[in-house]
């Protein structure tokens, strides 16, 4: 029986890391920020803003999650830059209306402002100090989910992907680098 190994837990074949926004904030990002143990070692640390999305590890046709340090200067990235797009989305705790995080959408522009199909959802934590809601400061952990906007995947890549996602690592293809 094939079992995907995830350091401390065994993930049965067919299961993939597809968290909801709330799960990502509550069970992964918040615990990372407060140095608490995580449910699974499935999100590696990587300076996403210093890496061209084409060079990120894992299957580029799957959503890939990384812990990265929050930076205000999104232009610092390699061979291009990430630019914010759309409105930030508040993530609220299930069961009450308390804002626990923010999801920001960004698009990668290559070289001299050539828009690409690379998208990032950057999740950051919001903490409450009495009535004040404070976004975690620069340098604090965020979760970056990087993916390609849907276009038809080339047939060759599809075949590669099938073998990759059936591999003993997590389907997001990112457990090769341990967090």
Where along the sequence are the contacts to a second copy (CB under 8 A)?
1-3, 6, 9-20, 22-24, 27-28, 31, 37-40, 42, 94-95, 159, 162-163, 165-166, 171
For 159, the 3-state DSSP assignment is helix
Our CB check for a second copy shows the closer of 38 and 107 to be 38
Our CB check for a second copy shows the closer of 81 and 100 to be 100
Cα dihedral 6, 17, 176, 34 sign: negative
Our CB check for a second copy shows the closer of 86 and 94 to be 94
Q: How far is CA 1 from CA 9, 11, 13, 164, 168, in A?
A: 15, 12, 9, 17, 12
Distance CA 49, CA 145 (A): 12
Least distance (Å) from a second copy to the CB of residue 87? 17
Least distance (Å) from a second copy to the CB of residue 67? 14
């Amino acid at each position: 029986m094939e079992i995907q190994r995830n350091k401390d837990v065994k993930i049965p074949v067919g299961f993939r890391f597809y968290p909801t926004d709330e799960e990502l904030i509550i069970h992964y990002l918040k615990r990372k920020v407060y140095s608490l143990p995580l449910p699974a070692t499935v999100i590696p640390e990587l300076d996403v803003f210093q890496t061209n999305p084409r060079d990120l590890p894992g299957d580029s046709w799957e959503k890939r999650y990384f812990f990265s340090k929050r930076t205000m200067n999104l232009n610092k990235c390699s061979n291009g830059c990430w630019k914010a797009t759309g409105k930030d989305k508040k993530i609220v705790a299930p069961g009450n209306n308390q804002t626990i995080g923010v999801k920001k959408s960004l698009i990668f522009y290559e070289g001299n402002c050539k828009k690409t199909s690379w998208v990032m959802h950057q999740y950051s934590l919001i903490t409450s100090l009495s009535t004040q809601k404070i976004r975690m400061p620069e340098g604090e952990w965020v979760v970056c989910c990087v993916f390609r906007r849907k276009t038809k995947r080339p047939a060759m890549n599809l075949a590669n992907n099938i073998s990759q996602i059936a591999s003993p690592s997590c389907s997001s293809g990112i457990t090769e680098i341990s967090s």
